[in-house]
Amino acid sequence: MWTARARLTIAALIASLYHGGALAADTAAIPAAVASVSPVEPAATPAEATFPDSSAAPATPDNTHAEAPATTSTTPEEKTPEEKSDADAASGAAPGQAAILRIDPATSNAAPLLKTENSLGDPQHDLWARIRAGFALPALDTSMVKENEDWYTHRPEYVARMLERSKRYLFYIVQEVEKRGMPTEIALLPMIESAFNPNAYSRSHASGIWQFIPSTGRNYGLKQNWWEDNRRNVIAATNAALDYLQNLHDMFGDWELALAAYNWGEGSVARAIARNEAKGLPTDYLSLHMPKETQSYVPRLLAVKNLIQHPQDFGIDLGVVPNTPYFTQITLTQHIDVALAAKLAETPLKEFTSLNPNYTRPVIQAKRPITLLLPVDKAEVFASNLENYSKPLVSWRPYYAKRGEKLVSIARRHGISSTRLEAANGITLRRGRLTRNQILLVPGNGGASLETASFNIPIGTSDSPSHAKLYTVRRGDTLLSIAKHTGVKVSQIKAWNHIRSSRLAVNQKLHLGPIQETHTKIARAKTLHRTALAYRAPRHQRYTVRRGDTLSSIAQRFDVELHDLMRWNKLSSRKRLHPGDKVIILAKND
């Protein structure tokens, strides 16, 4: 832990910040790895457990972070200035560079709601009571609510696991829901989406506690690459989900329909509404013809609400969840093994990866500052242990594998099982051989080399990277179909061709491999030109609304912003379009 002098200095720094004064404290007394420290409120401490040996962890889908080879002792060692310089070099940081940029305070910005007659407990101290006080969704007159209540009550072990997982995330989610004035039932939505399993992955490729599919995740700014998948980022995905739900509520003016659209898609709900309107039928949630899953979606949420509202009626023990933050954020500037980060935080690996499920490899790459979530009482522990840790922070390095190499041979050479090597690199091989040249993560000291390696990207077999294969887009092609056909990823095709949109034009040329910079510029210019010709809207165009159209779908079709489309046509977000309506589309530069 830090010296008494360091703690006094930090206290003086905080006091000066609170009073708007200059930083007059002796900053030399603050550990060099910490650039700034903010106060952290005390909170419920997660159950302590001895950090498991990563080498003994089973290689399962929920334990992919545990693939790191055994690291050195967790006991911090004091370092001389020379040793600190050596450690900086080993981890890829410049001498004297701060490993930790910031520890954010874990504070509550939203005042808990007042106690209501239906609440059990005090909302100011009990998070479940705070959630109950914000319930606002009306009941639905359908037997499906009771059916879902029975489903949960007949699975007490499932419910217990779900509730236990939820304790890590609920305080943050409830706080964000209240900031937006949303009913607190929305905070329970991950219970029916993923049972609060941060590693949940569906057949439709939805991921994370909020179950974003890749395209919707990208639309809401959730980065997905080889190193991380922010659909599983607790903070980013929560904010994206609430943004999405708020937009859906603005679009339909009704929480039941907004929730149906979250499950089924706004276009599908809008078309169902249009069909009922054309037949003169009601357009409320229970009146729409929807898939069985969507029909049961809101009743399932209301069933969960009832379990939380009256747990004693269902024989459920919710446990104690204090109305205080569970985690805080810490910003790092150096690459670090996932297993080592957990050790330095003196936190069980499962707990660490449950708070940071977005990092999908056994090493966290920090080309730019990255954020870790830690239990509120572990942030200073992590900072202190990191400052006093004298060994390399990374125990993995790039390996340039060739097509046809056997994974078992690569694994044997580097002292790791082929199963763990596959999990660390997110690959599944046919017949145990690599089908292309690519870069893999293997055990070894490689902090600096992580900066330049392009992992999981095929390496061209030609001596010149400008000879990357060209693909001509045909009618009916999509980026996904091309990626599947050619054995690459959609994100790679976009990167190689410097395109952001998923729209393609017939006869468009796509590079299916890395290319030289000069060729990149030419290809990018041609791609932008073709895209502009194919999708540029005329300066003044009148579009006739078709059956099933929504303002959102029209905006996407013409690649314009929804708020611009509404402004041009003087429409509100609640305006429902009808077939035959005329909508004005202006060019973007208007």
H/E segment holding residue 100: strand 100-103
**Quick check: is 561 catalytic?**
no
Estimate the crossing angle of helix 266-278 against helix 234-252, to 10 degrees.
20
Distance CA 231, CA 215 (A): 11
Distance CA 207, CA 522 (A): 36
Is the separation of the CB atoms in 169 and 234 below 8 Å?
yes
Distances (CA, A) of 111 to 50, 128, 178, 279, 316: 36, 15, 9, 47, 28
Q: How many residues does the chain have?
A: 590
User: Strand 540-544 to strand 582-586: parallel, antiparallel, or no bridges (unpaired)?
Assistant: antiparallel
List 67, 185, 193, 266, catalytic entry: 193
Q: Cβ neighbours of residue 203 under 8 Å, at least 6 residues apart?
A: none
What 3-state DSSP class applies to 52?
coil
Please name the amino acid found at residue 86: D
Is the separation of the CB atoms in 338 and 359 below 8 Å?
yes
Q: Cβ neighbours of residue 71 under 8 Å, at least 6 residues apart?
A: 54, 337, 339, 340, 343, 391, 395
Distances (CA, A) of 241 to 20, 325, 481: 36, 20, 27
Tell which residue, 457, 556, 565, 433, has the closest CA to residue 503: 556
User: Strand 327-332 to strand 582-586: parallel, antiparallel, or no bridges (unpaired)?
Assistant: unpaired
Which residues are marked as active site?
Answer: 193
